[in-house]
A and B are shown apart, each in its own frame.
Chain A
């Protein structure tokens, strides 16, 4: 369908002070192929909106360009129906508010006018090269699968079922309850945080089993999970036979495992001395009603508990498991309740009992016979079979001390069930590498073993995804993907992590996690049923289209996709699973053949936008800079900067993109050959604490810069001409300086020599 474009230019909010709006309007008749253009001093007003709607009717417009404020304002007012594509051109933010008419640039007014005109040209190019997206229409399931019947899992199941969704709950053990079933008591969860509470699983398991919308599979594991959100086919295996269910979304609440105490043999004598046990073993004893010295079964007169045993320790778990301190306090309290004459020593690095749990700490402090000190455990030795001696340095007592205890409890930390044992991977990788055919080169062999690594690991969901069988994890094996903005979210769309598998937490938090992840799962089944995407581009209708006949099977898209959207066939041709897609466009940025397109975002569209920008000749001394701005943080940050009237150089042309990862190196080559003097990409923070909304888009952008530098070398251009930088929303005040410094730096290099070709 041919584009019929109507252009509306707003002159309000100071736009007409900076720009000759009439001249801008006449641009359409003179130069651009649109139906018409109009200006209005109050384009967001009801009157003008009514006029636009009337024009759409009478002129048969299918594209509307609103040149005025940023698309982040009045978003809903400028929606005219699914088949009308709207582009918001922020001439207010990018031109009127951020250009400096007082600048000493020659003919500054003309320069600013040119800037505004370019934005109109870019928008027209965008409109001419895109179409209104249509949603995917597929049959989807609204059922939810919960993996793991612990506190988080059961809460997620109940929350989903109570909201009206059918739930399947799979539990590996014979009974529901998880760790809660193995604990004597749990940390108090309500004011005044003084009394230990009974473990929550009893009530929960009862409600879950009675719920008519929840189907429970115990003693079962998941053999295979295939498909995509709305269409997951999950094979549940209980040993005697498999059953396949179709679900729309999955909550993985598989919890945690205690840190391997064998690793603490040298440090605390675990395994060497019979009376050194873990907090888990202490819990077992307490459940059985008798705390006794393992070596002779006698009642201990004193028990020492070492906090952070193997936690916050570079040699072991570098992180804090958040609960062990409170568990130690809990155990001290029930030891006292069971055996009031037994002395309990709490030997800690710091006591971490955040928030109102401080009151629990205070309560335990007041209990007689509980002695606490900070200190570094230097040595644990055995006096005899029934007594241990613990040496501590850096204590609060101001000296190096030794205490004697009948038993030593190690408060070990939590390891997510998703953690892949690194040694195991290496071993398996080695085995696989040995199996490789000998004629392959070493380099290829390495690549192969890396790929197989992804297939090993924690075998829980057994996904049939090309990128691996389970949830990708962060640094310490936790499967979270964006802690700050989207909790519970993993890098597999429609699969959410809840409870201690996501982050170390207590049962109170696990409960909340279950509820939160259930809400996310519900969002997913609802959105995929409408064919639209989930966060962060919630509600986006567009989806990528692969023109596979031109595909070269380079696998860049399948490997780069942060969400494992693409599987591949035997030849390596990508097989899109569109409902897994979050529409970030990283695949589009990866594809050297430019065959991946969205209806409203495509390589051709960007290229045409770049070409539409006016390119003055070298002698005009009017440079041109292109800035790709990430829509997630950088675009709103620049809006804020403009609101405060921070100025940017008028030579800059901004193209917002879905993610810096969606910037194809081809765009950069196009821009350089079109004569742009420099190109800057501003994306989200990358690294271990990334804020990229699509996990690794910003990282990939940086990685692809390598290729760009290569390209620049071939063209004999300075590498400073193309740069990438990171912006957080809170960096809004730094954005103008980043852009202006870049402009200044490249200005010093002189004009792009390819300008006049």
Chain B
């Protein structure tokens, strides 16, 4: 017989989970309806029932080494069917929010993103950096920007080279910090699950990428079907804008700067592939975000409990797209009074999303992917769908 494990409950974690949107967690009485209705849950050690009692007892080591919290897409089937109103979907989301904090490297960043009190410093950092760049470039002569005759020139305001550098540094930092967190997460899962990896990391990763691109898991959700569509829009919006950014970087750094070719420098024509990709992406994000906001307001039961960090991420995502599209519109329209502030806002929100990605809900992209790879590699698959008799 297996050796008994000493269990020490932790009230403070229960409090945190409740504060992070899981305030219904204590209502659970472990009937396992949630695990039965969940289409994504595997047959062996299904979720979210076990996560519910782990949360009620505040068992951090179990929750934080559990790939299952990331296999949940919060489609709310469990919450809708829960006989006790314990909303396991919301609790799982709250546990995921706690995971950003738990794995955060450096740790203070996790805490800063988790509550509104961290918002001001988090905003101040990019504002100061961007202002310094603006100040340096314009020597404080901002009035020149707004002269009626002047063409709106973002490169003059915030030079592309500088901003590129800012985001490349950000990306490197993010990759480093995120890797540390992900490594800890993987090691934790490995240990807790005594994992026998049946599939290698790369094949598992390829499988997961296909799954993500097709949003396959979303399609088995019942209560919140809209999520698949909204998430697809935002997801591909980001893919398109990322492609546009990559192409622009290529044009600017390689063709323009390195090869010294003429014309491969912003602003690009609206028919340029960069612009086409960027604009499609931007509009897709806006559309997806609008659906999300609308659903969270009008259909909060099924959309899941939205807390501060949810709104922060949704609004930041929306603002990135809106400010980008706005800056472009006012630049072409020649309305400098709006174009520059929009551009400033755009860079500010891009900074926010990229630099803080591991600690905000953007981080779900990494944790979820890793958890899915882990699950796939140990052969932890969703239960087989059987047609009703």
Q: Which one of B51-59, B268-276, B336-344 contacts A?
A: B51-59
Known contacts A365-B26, A366-B26, A371-B56, A400 near B84 by CB under 8 Å: no
Known contacts A362-B84, A366-B26, A396-B53, A402 near B11 by CB under 8 Å: no
B contact residues, total (Cβ < 8 Å)? 26
Bitwise interface map of B from 189 to 212 toward A, beta carbon under 8 Å scored 1, else 0 = 000000000000000000000000
Are the CB atoms of B5 and A351 closer together than 8 Å?
Answer: no
Are the CB atoms of B15 and A368 closer together than 8 Å?
Answer: yes
Known contacts A362-B27, A368-B15, A391 near B4 by CB under 8 Å: yes
Does A403 have its Cβ within 8 Å of any Cβ on chain B? yes
- Please indicate the chain A residues that have their CB under 8 angstroms from the CB of B57 in the complex: 371, 373, 397
Are the CB atoms of B84 and A401 closer together than 8 Å?
Answer: no
Does B184 have its Cβ within 8 Å of any Cβ on chain A? no
Closest partner residue, chain B, to A401 (CB atom): B7
Are the CB atoms of B2 and A400 closer together than 8 Å?
Answer: yes
Are the CB atoms of B2 and A397 closer together than 8 Å?
Answer: no
Known contacts A362-B27, A368-B11, A373 near B53 by CB under 8 Å: yes
- Please indicate the chain B residues that have their CB under 8 angstroms from the CB of A397 in the complex: 7, 50, 53-54, 57, 59
Output the least CB separation between A408 and chain B (Å).
Answer: 16
Does B232 have its Cβ within 8 Å of any Cβ on chain A? no
Does B259 have its Cβ within 8 Å of any Cβ on chain A? no
Does A445 have its Cβ within 8 Å of any Cβ on chain B? no
A contact residues, total (Cβ < 8 Å)? 25
Does A442 have its Cβ within 8 Å of any Cβ on chain B? no
Are the CB atoms of A402 and B27 closer together than 8 Å?
Answer: no
Does B385 have its Cβ within 8 Å of any Cβ on chain A? no
Task: Provide the bound-state CA to CA distance between A393 and B3, in Å.
Answer: 10
Closest partner residue, chain B, to A365 (CB atom): B26
Out of A368, A393, A402, which one reaches B7, CB within 8 Å? A402
Are the CB atoms of B4 and A401 closer together than 8 Å?
Answer: yes
Are the CB atoms of A343 and B53 closer together than 8 Å?
Answer: no
Are the CB atoms of B7 and A400 closer together than 8 Å?
Answer: no
Are the CB atoms of A351 and B29 closer together than 8 Å?
Answer: yes
Task: Provide the bound-state CA to CA distance between A362 and B83, in Å.
Answer: 12
- Please indicate the chain A residues that have their CB under 8 angstroms from the CB of B53 in the complex: 373, 396-397
Task: Provide the bound-state CA to CA distance between A343 and B56, in Å.
Answer: 13
Does B9 have its Cβ within 8 Å of any Cβ on chain A? yes
Does B14 have its Cβ within 8 Å of any Cβ on chain A? yes
Q: Which residues, 1 to 56 on B, are CB-close (under 8 Å) to A?
A: 1-9, 11, 14-15, 26-30, 45, 49-50, 53-54, 56
- Please indicate the chain B residues that have their CB under 8 angstroms from the CB of A371 in the complex: 9, 56-57
Does A755 have its Cβ within 8 Å of any Cβ on chain B? no
Does A355 have its Cβ within 8 Å of any Cβ on chain B? no
Task: Provide the bound-state CA to CA distance between A343 and B10, in Å.
Answer: 10
- Please indicate the chain A residues that have their CB under 8 angstroms from the CB of B9 in the complex: 343, 371
- Please indicate the chain B residues that have their CB under 8 angstroms from the CB of A393 in the complex: 1, 4
- Please indicate the chain A residues that have their CB under 8 angstroms from the CB of B2 in the complex: 399-400
Are the CB atoms of A402 and B26 closer together than 8 Å?
Answer: no
Are the CB atoms of A365 and B29 closer together than 8 Å?
Answer: yes
- Please indicate the chain B residues that have their CB under 8 angstroms from the CB of A378 in the complex: 4
Q: Which residues, 341 to 373 on A, are CB-close (under 8 Å) to B?
A: 343, 351, 361-362, 365-366, 368-369, 371-373
- Please indicate the chain B residues that have their CB under 8 angstroms from the CB of A401 in the complex: 4-7
Output the least CB separation between A553 and chain B (Å).
Answer: 63
Closest partner residue, chain A, to B85 (CB atom): A362
Output the least CB separation between A376 and chain B (Å).
Answer: 12
Q: Which residues, 431 to 446 on A, are CB-close (under 8 Å) to B?
A: none
Out of A365, A369, A372, A398, which one reaches B50, CB within 8 Å? A398
Task: Provide the bound-state CA to CA distance between A233 and B8, in Å.
Answer: 62
Known contacts A400-B1, A400-B2, A368 near B14 by CB under 8 Å: yes
Are the CB atoms of A398 and B5 closer together than 8 Å?
Answer: no
Closest partner residue, chain B, to A373 (CB atom): B53
Are the CB atoms of B4 and A402 closer together than 8 Å?
Answer: yes
- Please indicate the chain B residues that have their CB under 8 angstroms from the CB of A374 in the complex: 30
Are the CB atoms of B6 and A400 closer together than 8 Å?
Answer: no
Closest partner residue, chain A, to B49 (CB atom): A396
Closest partner residue, chain A, to B3 (CB atom): A400
Output the least CB separation between B313 and chain A (Å).
Answer: 29
Does A70 have its Cβ within 8 Å of any Cβ on chain B? no
Closest partner residue, chain A, to B57 (CB atom): A371
- Please indicate the chain B residues that have their CB under 8 angstroms from the CB of A399 in the complex: 2, 5
Closest partner residue, chain B, to A368 (CB atom): B11
Output the least CB separation between B105 and chain A (Å).
Answer: 29
Are the CB atoms of B56 and A402 closer together than 8 Å?
Answer: no
Out of A365, A373, A392, A398, which one reaches B27, CB within 8 Å? A365
Does A404 have its Cβ within 8 Å of any Cβ on chain B? yes
- Please indicate the chain A residues that have their CB under 8 angstroms from the CB of B11 in the complex: 343, 368-369
Are the CB atoms of A396 and B5 closer together than 8 Å?
Answer: no
Task: Provide the bound-state CA to CA distance between A361 and B28, in Å.
Answer: 11
Task: Provide the bound-state CA to CA distance between A368 and B84, in Å.
Answer: 18
Closest partner residue, chain A, to B18 (CB atom): A368
Task: Provide the bound-state CA to CA distance between A343 and B7, in Å.
Answer: 13
28 residue pairs A–B, Cβ–Cβ below 8 Å: A343-B11, A362-B27, A362-B84, A365-B26, A366-B26, A366-B27, A368-B14, A369-B11, A371-B9, A373-B53, A378-B4, A392-B4, A393-B1, A396-B30, A397-B7, A397-B53, A397-B59, A398-B45, A398-B50, A400-B1, A401-B5, A401-B6, A401-B7, A402-B4, A402-B5, A402-B7, A403-B8, A404-B6
Across the A-B interface, the 10 shortest Cβ-Cβ residue pairs: A402-B4, A400-B4, A391-B4, A366-B26, A401-B7, A402-B6, A396-B30, A371-B9, A365-B26, A396-B53
Known interface pairs A362-B27, A396-B53, A404-B6; 17 further A-B residue pairs with C-beta atoms within 8 A, sorted by A's residue number: A343-B9, A351-B29, A371-B9, A371-B56, A372-B56, A373-B53, A373-B57, A396-B50, A397-B57, A398-B50, A400-B1, A400-B4, A401-B4, A401-B5, A402-B4, A403-B6, A404-B8
